[in-house]
Amino acid sequence: MSEPRSRGGRRGREARKEARQNKSGNTIPYIKRNIPVSNLTSDEALEIIESNADTILEEIGIDFRDDPESLQLWRDAGADVQGERVHFPKGLCRELLKTAPSEFTQYARNPARNVQIGGNNTVFVPVYGPPFVHDMDKGRRYGTIEDFENFVKLAYMAPAMHHSGGTVCEPVDLPVNKRHFDMVYSHIKYSDKPFMGSVTAPERAQDSVDMASLVFGEDFVQNNCVMLNLINANSPMTFDATMLGALRTYAANNQACVVSPFILSGAMSPVSPAGTLSQLLAEALAGTALTQIIKPGTPVLFGTFVSSISMQSGAPTFGTPESSLVLNGAAQLARRLNLPFRSGGSFTASKLPDAQAAYESAQTLLMTLMSGVNFALHSAGWLEGGLCSSYEKFVMDIDQCAMMEVMARGIDVSENGQAMDAVREVGPGGHFLGCAHTQANFEDAFYRSRIADNNSVEQWQSDGSKDAATRANEIWKQMLNDYQAPALDPGIDESLQAFMTKRKNEFPDSNV
């Protein structure tokens, strides 16, 4: 079958191409969903879980370790602090959270890339944290700053990646105590999408804020969110000094913390979805409320990272029904709290971009969309339980994310969408390829995957019988080849480099 005949010449084609790029969502900065969220758990069940979370907060308590400042903040707020354990009077956390915004803007250096966090919106964000990278040519190896830059570039080029992310891989070739400078700089230099700050030490968080201030201006940063920052709870029921230090730094500077219980159910929480939800809600309540003591009104997200462990081997599992149910339930709990919600992504335990990787990722990603996740970290590139950033998986996942954009639009019932003129024109037994409605709409009617091979087996064989990973390998190389950096004001670039050089010279390299 050939492409329906186009009407009009070159000008018509170009106009339609442009129209398609706009209509097909290729330029939207984030998803504004037009379909309802899917709530799988009843209100009655959620009330039980909330009541249990209150019990955990009041009777069991949460540890805030090696961070006297946090303990003092809680004492002053009216909590019962015994050693490092904080017990929360019933309702305290919810009361504190009343100042947290339900929705806010994270600003990008290119205003067209600003994203709206919370409400009816979904933002897809690359994988965060892997020490290793993987591609089909060189296999598995430690990540470097070159890999880091490559993933920033790929995310910049991917229409359905709405965010540049944070630690897209660990640049292990740089000293631990200085690599945050290069990571933040890479996000600013090689992309103009919004990004995340360093959380591995309070001073590195401050460096991130200072670098952002050079880009956005100090006043702007103090009054607006320009960075999202990942604060993991050390589950069960514990926050450690590193995370608390970063949280305090960012909250004080009005930058959004994503307070995320990081839970492998069965090891770090009970071996049941309801028990896991109660515990993670307690942890999220305590962590998010702390930001509001530090600076009432500062933006904060309810985060959830949950997988289960294999009860045979203890290994983390992904894309499982239990973690999907927890993801969905946590999204409901966050909405009931009126907080923006982070979870989901494209998870897998597979060591290769194979069928296991894809099944597990698709299960999580579709549930991410259906559940109404606002900030979907790890939406592209995740491999091997988060130990690897995969080049091939990245380009596979961005294709899936782009499909989620289309799904979120729902069904168009405009007159053109109804297409009754086409049904009348074609009639019983006819075919629609040549009809006027198809001619007018074929360019942007259906999502076009860059990676799926829909051809006949004969065509596929004559194209080399490539599997999806092999095609993905070609695509990311082509993308990096085509990459063009967004313009960056030379004065800003210079000031960033000067800041980094100065700061890097203030202390010796170290790998802690």
| Cβ contact 325:332 at 8 Å | no
Q: How far is the CB of 462 from a second copy (least distance, A)?
A: 12
- Tokens 């109404």 belong to 372
Does residue 287 touch a second copy according to CB under 8 A? no
Runs of H (alpha helix) within 372-413: 391-409
**Residue placing its CB nearer to a second copy in the complex, 3 or 506:** 3
| Cβ contact 468:400 at 8 Å | no
Pattern 244-273, a second copy, x by CB under 8 A:
---------------------xxxxxxxxx
Q: Which of 420, 464, 481, 482 binds a second copy (CB under 8 A)?
A: 420
Restricted to residues 86-115, the positions that interact with a second copy (CB under 8 A) are: none
In three-state secondary structure terms, 284 is: helix
Rounded Cα–Cα distance for residues 50 and 121 (Å): 25
- Tokens 């009843």 belong to 42
Does residue 490 touch a second copy according to CB under 8 A? no
**Residue placing its CB nearer to a second copy in the complex, 456 or 511:** 456
Q: How far is the CB of 512 from a second copy (least distance, A)?
A: 22
What type of residue sits at position 13? R
Q: Which of 105, 176, 442, 483 binds a second copy (CB under 8 A)?
A: 442
What type of residue sits at position 156? Y
**CB burial readout 237-249, b (16+ within 10 A) else e:** bbbebbbbbbbbb
Restricted to residues 39-58, the positions that interact with a second copy (CB under 8 A) are: 39-41, 45, 48-49, 52, 55-56
**Residue placing its CB nearer to a second copy in the complex, 198 or 265:** 265
**Residue placing its CB nearer to a second copy in the complex, 72 or 416:** 416
Residue 84 makes CB contacts below 8 A (sequence gap 6+) with: 63, 64, 65, 66, 71
Q: Which of 76, 296, 424, 462 binds a second copy (CB under 8 A)?
A: 424
Restricted to residues 149-208, the positions that interact with a second copy (CB under 8 A) are: none
- Tokens 């009330």 belong to 47
**Residue placing its CB nearer to a second copy in the complex, 154 or 174:** 154
Q: How far is the CB of 358 from a second copy (least distance, A)?
A: 3
Instruction: Work out the angle between the directed axes of helices 145-157 and 468-482 (0-180°, nearest 10).
Output: 90
Q: Which of 14, 218, 412, 489 binds a second copy (CB under 8 A)?
A: 412
Pattern 445-464, a second copy, x by CB under 8 A:
xxxxx-xxxxxxx--x----
Residue 111 makes CB contacts below 8 A (sequence gap 6+) with: none
**Rounded to an integer, what is the distance from CA 406 to the centroid of its chain?**
18
Q: Which of 5, 9, 137, 413 binds a second copy (CB under 8 A)?
A: 413
Q: Which of 58, 293, 432, 499 binds a second copy (CB under 8 A)?
A: 432
Does residue 136 touch a second copy according to CB under 8 A? no
Rounded Cα–Cα distance for residues 441 and 430 (Å): 18
Q: How far is the CB of 293 from a second copy (least distance, A)?
A: 20
Does residue 141 touch a second copy according to CB under 8 A? no
| Cβ contact 214:495 at 8 Å | yes
Q: Which of 36, 111, 217, 297 binds a second copy (CB under 8 A)?
A: 36
Pattern 353-392, a second copy, x by CB under 8 A:
xxxxxxxxxxx--xx--x-------------xx-x-----
**CB burial readout 85-95, b (16+ within 10 A) else e:** bbbbeeebbbe
What sign does the dihedral 20-25-29-33 (CA atoms) show? positive
**Residue placing its CB nearer to a second copy in the complex, 127 or 326:** 326
Q: Which of 9, 138, 223, 428 binds a second copy (CB under 8 A)?
A: 428
- Tokens 């080849």 belong to 481
Does residue 277 touch a second copy according to CB under 8 A? yes
Does residue 469 touch a second copy according to CB under 8 A? yes
Does residue 308 touch a second copy according to CB under 8 A? yes
Rounded Cα–Cα distance for residues 53 and 237 (Å): 11
Q: Which of 423, 480, 488, 492 binds a second copy (CB under 8 A)?
A: 423
Cα 172 to Cα 34, 222, 248, 500, 506: the distances in Å are 42, 32, 27, 18, 21
